[in-house]
Structure 1
């Protein structure tokens, strides 16, 4: 493997520590997404409207909460 093809982990530096830090960050973000979808899905349509959301926008709102605007 040449230096040109080596890519360090996205978060937390390089090597195994960086790989595990990146994995932990992705798992944490996924947990935020799942929890947000679950909590918003439990709300009534009226409660969602009070928040300015339609039921069809729950997954997009959860993605924004977990991963930021893409």
Structure 2
């Protein structure tokens, strides 16, 4: 049960990160050094510590 709760919390963190970054305009993303196409990968690496 603990693993399920932890997995769900991680998924929510990933989802929230994608949502927050997706709301940014191109200029804001550029200031952060992020291309729109990198958002999901960046959120995945940040949340789960995975590459690609």
Looking at structure 2, the residues matched to 59 and 69 of structure 1 have their Cα atoms a distance apart, in angstroms, of: 12
> How many residues align structurally?
51
Give the match for residue 40 of structure 1.
21
Question: Are residues 1:51 and 2:32 paired?
Answer: yes
Question: Gaps spanning 5+ residues in structure 1: where?
Answer: 1-19
Give the match for residue 66 of structure 1.
47
Question: Gaps spanning 5+ residues in structure 2: where?
Answer: none
- Out of 7, 22, 43, the residue aligned to residue 3 of structure 2 is 22
Bigger helix fraction: 2
Post-superposition Cα deviations, 1:38-60, rounded to whole Å, max 9, x if no partner, equal 00000001100111100000000
TM-score, length of structure 1 as denominator length: 0.68
Looking at structure 2, the residues matched to 62 and 39 of structure 1 have their Cα atoms a distance apart, in angstroms, of: 10
